[in-house]
Amino acid sequence: VPVLLFVAAPYIRRYVAGGRCKSTAKMEGKVVIITGANTGIGKETARDLARRGKVIIACRDIAKAEAAASEIRAETGNQQVIVKKLDLADTKSIREFAEKFLADEKELHILINNAGVMLCPYSKTADGFEMHMGVNHLGHFLLTFLLLERLKQSAPARIVNVSSLAHHGGRIRFHDLHGEKSYNRGLAYCHSKLANVLFTRELARRLQGKNTKGTKVTANALHPGSVYSDLVRHSFLMTWLWKIFSFFLKTPWEGAQTSVYCAVAEELDSVTGQYFSDCQPAYVSPRGRDDETARKLWSVSCELLGIQWD
């Protein structure tokens, strides 16, 4: 058995690694925002895109973000890797980030909503939202709303939402969106990842609608794969399992490939409202294709955030 495993190891690793973004597209003069890019797949996405254009790392932890940016600048030779503070668990911080960005930058070509929390013990954001739904969905929903006009002005532009295969286990529980009646942290993560898929679907529909005259802004979602990162830090069991089975998990670089693909691949110029995994279209759960739920979630999200987004 050990001999067989040794022989099979390279093939297993190749299978686990999954798809790879082969695009060499350059992005001179283009601006990218990546949320949560101080670690894991966000950092690797930033590293790749810094070889192509200007990257803004939007993070809550400025010290970690500056360390990541410094490393990326040194490695790529691109000094246009900039850190800006963004706490997705606080709508005040999101609004401040957007206001500062819009004052500093005249263009935005790619928005990658990458940051996320997973398996948190029950807690709420500064605005009283359940943490998974608040950060993973509502925070990015508000950020996208605030930056959308700049994306339209800079078009062609892309919005990339990092979701997960976990959306298959999710439901949008409108009667208990913030888990006050019942809470399971694994399911809470799944619910928020389903919200990412539904948000992408409805956003793409609206961007293609008659009223927008078909803006050249696309929106796609993706599953990065099962990645060996610190996203599972809130669960001792998952951290332990991740270490044991790390050989069968993607590295952060491998996990970033589909994010990079959705951001730069030329063949996706006019593709919108889709869901990708391993740099190719992937199956979306029936709940993730429910347009009625997508529209209702949009409306409820606007209500919770106190915004009008028609």
pLDDT of residue 294: 98
User: How confident is the model at residue 17, as a pLDDT?
Assistant: 62
In percent, the amount of the chain with pLDDT more than 70 equals 86
Could you read off the pLDDT of 115-124 as tens digits, one per residue? 999 989 999 9
First to last CA, the chain: 60
What pLDDT band is residue 44 in, cutting at 50, 70 and 90? very high
Q: What is the pTM of this model?
A: 0.90
Residue 287 has pLDDT above 70, yes or no: yes
Active site residue 189: yes
Does the pLDDT value for residue 51 go beyond 50? yes
- pLDDT tens-digit readout, 90-107: 999 999 999 999 999 999
Task: Judge whether 19 and 258 are in contact, CB under 8 Å.
Answer: yes
CA 239: distance to chain centroid? 21
pLDDT at 5 (0 to 100)? 44
CA distance 149 to 308: 14
Give the count of beta carbons closer than 10 Å to the beta carbon of residue 245.
11
Determine whether domain 28-305 maps to CATH 3.50.50.60: no
Q: What percent of the chain has pLDDT over 90?
A: 81
Active-site entry in 11, 189, 275, 283: 189
Give me the pLDDT at residue 309, please: 97
Distance from C-alpha of 224 to C-alpha of 257, rounded to nearest angstrom: 8
Task: Please tell me the distance from the alpha carbon of residue 306 to that of residue 302, in angstroms, as a whole number.
Answer: 6
Closest Cα partner for 202 from 272, 142, 111, 120? 272
What does the mean pLDDT of the chain come to? 90
The answer to which of 41-50, 144-153, 204-213 has the lowest mean pLDDT is: 204-213
- The two structure tokens encoding residue 9: 């190891």
Per domain, the residue ranges of the chain are 28-305
Question: Is the predicted pLDDT of residue 26 greater than 60, yes or no?
Answer: yes
Q: What is the mean pLDDT of residues 47-61?
A: 97
Question: Could you tell me the pLDDT band of residue 242, with boundaries at 50, 70 and 90?
Answer: very low
User: What pLDDT shows up at residue 209?
Assistant: 73
Interval 205-237: pLDDT, tens: 999 974 445 679 999 999 998 764 555 555 555
